[in-house]
Amino acid sequence: MKTALALCAALPLVLSGCVVFKNQPKSGDSAFKQVLPARLPDFSDSQDRTGLIESAENSLSYLSQAKETLYTVGDVKVTPALLAASLKEFIKIAKEAKTQGEFAAGIAEKFDVYRSLGSDGNGKVVFTSYYEPVFKASKVKTSEYKYPLYRRPTDLIDVDLEDFNPEKYKGEQLSGKVEDSKLVPYFPRSKIDLEKLLEGKGLELAWLRDRFDVMDLHIEGSARLEFTDGTTMRASYAGTNSLQFRGPFTTLINSGVISKDEATAERIRKYVIDHPEIEDWVLSTNPRYTFFKLDRITDPRIGPIGTYGGPLVGGRSLAVDPKHVPLGAIAFVDVPLPRLDSAGKLLAIAGTGRFAICQDTGGAIKGPGRVDYYAGTGDHAGNFAGRVKNSGSLYLLLLKLPEY
């Protein structure tokens, strides 16, 4: 960090009170490469821009309080203030452009564009999708509602590894518990759900009817709970045990139970329900465990809270690996996505261009070649999200720097 700041002082470029600098990184420092003007994507995005503007404005407050971390994007070292300046110009163009053509032209004029090199350098990024489910729930255990959601245990400790070595551990955290003055891994899923080590400790927040619903909620990270007393609350992410994530898709595909082509959320759910004898096995193969808190829902239109600290917007928020992609960055994705009818039936999978803001993270979203697309709330969003696992392109947009 000291070396980076020294270089920054030597080559100042003042932008809205922020210092940024260009610097040729060492090989492998950046997961992005600048796109020449003649090879820019066409920036086609036919979706209404209201949600996009809302999402971008939400990230401005996050960036105003973000750590002064330097991210390498292409050959540029980027500060949160440059990301904020980029968002302000992006919002201005989005509000003023009268047509899609004007919007795309404004972006091409004002921004430098960087394409992700992907995990293996070929530019291909794997896109999945997640959503906020809606589940029936009870505030007490009954014969119908018998599967618990747990609040965060008091002995679960988070460690921000970036505080120890910002260059090596950017965006990385671990969680565990202290035993004999050492931080050790917290209990895995098999100990919590099968051996019930947390049962009776007053940690139960709510009870669901279906084990698969609990598993789904742990994967998605949040849900709206419709309680039997008529109230609705949001089960929000409150932490994990930081152990390796292994989803039911991977478990059943690798075991040969279902093929990769069959692996939709509905197919997985049906198989587990039809074969209750494998539930314990499917659960135990995923050691990652998520803990929750309950929040009031003051406005049903507002989505769950992302890692950046503000609400996610369906179709306009992305989960990324913050070690490679800065939260608050403007993205453009070009990827085949499902097209559904009003009943949630799949009509086609077609190429889609979409602007979005990087606002969230995920246990399975690691490396520059993985992106999770937030689809929204409810069954329709779930039908969409369960069908997304395609390769596409990810671009980041940075405001062009002034000459010096």
CATH of the domain at 257: 2.40.240.50
**What is the pLDDT, as a whole number, of residue 166?**
80
One domain for residues 91 and 120: yes
DSSP assigned state of 38: G
One domain for residues 283 and 136: yes
One domain for residues 336 and 364: yes
pLDDT tens digits for 333-348?
A: 999 999 999 988 999 9
Evaluate whether residue 24 is within a structural domain: no
Question: Which residue, 124, 39, 58, 68, is CA-closest to 334?
Answer: 124
Q: Is residue 88 pLDDT above 50, yes or no?
A: yes
Evaluate whether residue 17 is within a structural domain: no
Evaluate whether residue 404 is within a structural domain: no
Residues in the chain: 404
One domain for residues 52 and 119: yes
Q: Between these two residues, 368 and 29, which has the higher pLDDT value? A: 368
Which tokens sit at 96? 């003023």
**What is the pLDDT, as a whole number, of residue 147?**
95
One domain for residues 283 and 137: yes
What value does the mean pLDDT take over residues 22-30?
43
Residue ending a domain, choose from 296, 324, 344: 296
What value does the mean pLDDT take over residues 273-294?
87
Residue ending a domain, choose from 243, 268, 296: 296
What value does the mean pLDDT take over residues 119-136?
92
**What is the pLDDT, as a whole number, of residue 30?**
78
One domain for residues 215 and 75: no
- Read off the amino acid at residue 195: E
What residue ranges in 277-388 does DSSP mark as E strands? 290-296, 317-319, 330-340, 346-360, 370-377
One domain for residues 172 and 273: yes
pLDDT tens digits for 108-118?
A: 999 999 999 99
121: left (phi over 0), alpha (psi -120 to 50) or beta: left
One domain for residues 162 and 272: yes
Residue ending a domain, choose from 296, 331, 362: 296
C-alpha to C-alpha distance for 107 and 89, rounded to whole angstroms: 9
Which tokens sit at 323? 């070690």
| CATH code (residue 116) | 2.40.40.10
Bridge partners of residue 207, in order along the sequence: 138, 148
One domain for residues 283 and 138: yes
Q: Is residue 28 pLDDT above 60, yes or no?
A: no
**What is the pLDDT, as a whole number, of residue 171?**
72
What value does the mean pLDDT take over residues 102-107?
95
Structural domain including 261 reads 132-296
| CB proximity list for 64: less than 8 A, separation 6 or greater | 80, 84
pLDDT tens digits for 295-328?
A: 999 898 999 999 999 999 999 999 999 989 999 9
**What is the pLDDT, as a whole number, of residue 29?**
60
Q: How many CB atoms lie within 10 A of CB 33?
A: 15
Q: Is residue 373 pLDDT above 90, yes or no?
A: yes
Residue 404 half-sphere exposure toward CB, CA atoms < 13 A:
12
Evaluate whether residue 106 is within a structural domain: yes
| CB proximity list for 297: less than 8 A, separation 6 or greater | 224, 232, 233, 234
Residue 218 DSSP SS3: helix
Evaluate whether residue 381 is within a structural domain: yes
One domain for residues 252 and 379: no
Evaluate whether residue 19 is within a structural domain: no
Asked if residues 141 and 207 have their Cβ atoms less than 8 Å apart, the reply is yes
Evaluate whether residue 354 is within a structural domain: yes
One domain for residues 52 and 107: yes
Number of H helices, E strands in the chain: 10, 21
**What is the pLDDT, as a whole number, of residue 16?**
35
In which residue are the tokens 């085949």 written?
A: 336
Q: Is residue 27 pLDDT above 80, yes or no?
A: no
Give the count of domains, the chain.
Answer: 2
In which residue are the tokens 């070595």 written?
A: 165
Asked if residues 358 and 331 have their Cβ atoms less than 8 Å apart, the reply is yes
Evaluate whether residue 109 is within a structural domain: yes
One domain for residues 174 and 263: yes
